[in-house]
Amino acid sequence: MSEVNITLQAAYDLAFSCLTQHGCNDENAAAAAHRMIQAEGDKCHAHGLFRLPWYVGGVKSGRVNGSAQPTVNKLASSVVKVDGDNGFAPLAQKIAHGPLVDCARENGIAVLAITDMFHLAAMWPEVEALAEAGLCGIAVTASYPYVAPAGGIKALFGTNPMGFAWPRPDGPPLVFDQASSAIARGEIQIAARDGQRVPVTAGIGPDGQATTDPNVVLQGAQLGFGGYKGASLAMMVELLAGPLIGEFLSFEAEADDAGRGGPPKGGELIIAIDPARFGNPEHIIAHGEALFQEVLKQDGVRLPGDRRFKARELTKRDGIKIPESLYNEIMSLRV
């Protein structure tokens, strides 16, 4: 597979110009492009420029508001709500970050409900930002019906990722971001694109039978990680990022899309916790380090997020590589 090597800045400019040419205003395009390039910089290609055609398609079809002006409201002392004004998530997240941090610092814990928006990025950027502010963060969002409930064969839950971050005194925080499904939707799509197989735990065909063919899984249903337990988490995420905050369940997001093929409309729930309201924050963070030291004593064991942070250093220097086919697709999107 031939690849094109470009700098992060060039990749950002490409995404930004593509989005503005198709109907995003500068503020929305900048936030969305930044999110895609963050993912590329960490070599999370499934959430990088790979998503750009989907972003563009959402705006072009008129489903997504490229000039969204998200608004912030307090629903209760510890509940911040951000209405995304029918735009992409990154601008709403950017606007919500400060009020969420303030609310968590004031009350010890706070919850952010982002509604009326389209989330098609990784989850780690928003929780990583909380940990950079000294807070512990948990974020969840639903998507489209991709995952079968435990014991079922029909896709109903989204891949419903959960992101978690914990502050560290030196260097980047402890961060993980993982789908409730055995593997991420984007990984299955990329396997299908590249003619690869997927693990047999990834999903089932429309007939409920096991398969390693990503195209058959895409027509059937993905499975939760670890079987029924991942499916339980997916259900929890549906409830928290859907009904609790007045947003779509994954199957409702699909119905709303009505076959237009855009990104899922829905909500995101983020919980932020301030260690400083539980005790001496330096002691608390140092105590976390004691756990990480024990983890790293074992041969060949890394902390979650470590691979991304290493990639981040490399791509700053070397730029990123994207498949030529994707590069050409993006270039053809430019008017």
Return the range that interacts with its own copies (CB under 8 A); candidates 2-10, 30-38, 92-100, 222-230: 222-230
> Given the complex with its own copies, which of 90 and 275 has the nearer CB atom?
275
Nearer to its own copies, 101 or 136 (CB): 136
Contact between residue 181 and residue 147 where contact means Cβ atoms under 8 Å apart: yes
Q: Is 150 in the site for its own copies (CB under 8 A)?
A: yes
* 72 contacts its own copies (rule: CB under 8 A): no
First-to-last C-alpha distance (Å) of the chain: 26
71 binds its own copies (CB under 8 A): no
What the block records as the tokens of 51 is 């998503």
Task: Characterise 43 by phi-psi region: left (phi > 0), alpha (psi -120 to 50), beta (else).
Answer: left
CB-nearer residue toward its own copies: 301 or 331: 301
Tokens of 26: 């500068």
Among the residue ranges 37-45, 89-97, 299-307, 316-324, the one whose residues contact its own copies (CB under 8 A) = 299-307
Q: Is 288 near its own copies (CB under 8 A)?
A: yes
Least distance in angstroms from the C-beta of 16 to its own copies: 33
| Of the candidates 165, 158, 168, 151, the residue with the CA atom closest to the CA atom of residue 234 | 158
* 257 alpha carbon, distance to own chain's centre: 19
Closer of 10 and 109 to its own copies (Cβ): 109
Secondary structure (3-state) at 251: helix
264 near its own copies, rule: CB under 8 A: no
* CB atoms closer than 10 angstroms to residue 71: 13
| Torsion, CA 160, CA 43, CA 263, CA 4, rounded to 10 | -160
- In eight-state DSSP terms, residue 220 is S
Q: With binding defined as CB under 8 A, does residue 152 bind its own copies?
A: yes
Residue 266 pairs with which residues in a beta bridge? 117
* Interacting residues with its own copies between 117 and 146 (CB under 8 A): 136, 138
Q: Does 75 bind its own copies (CB under 8 A)?
A: yes
Question: Applying CB under 8 A, does 46 fall inside the site for its own copies?
Answer: no
Q: CB 261 → its own copies: shortest distance, Å? A: 22
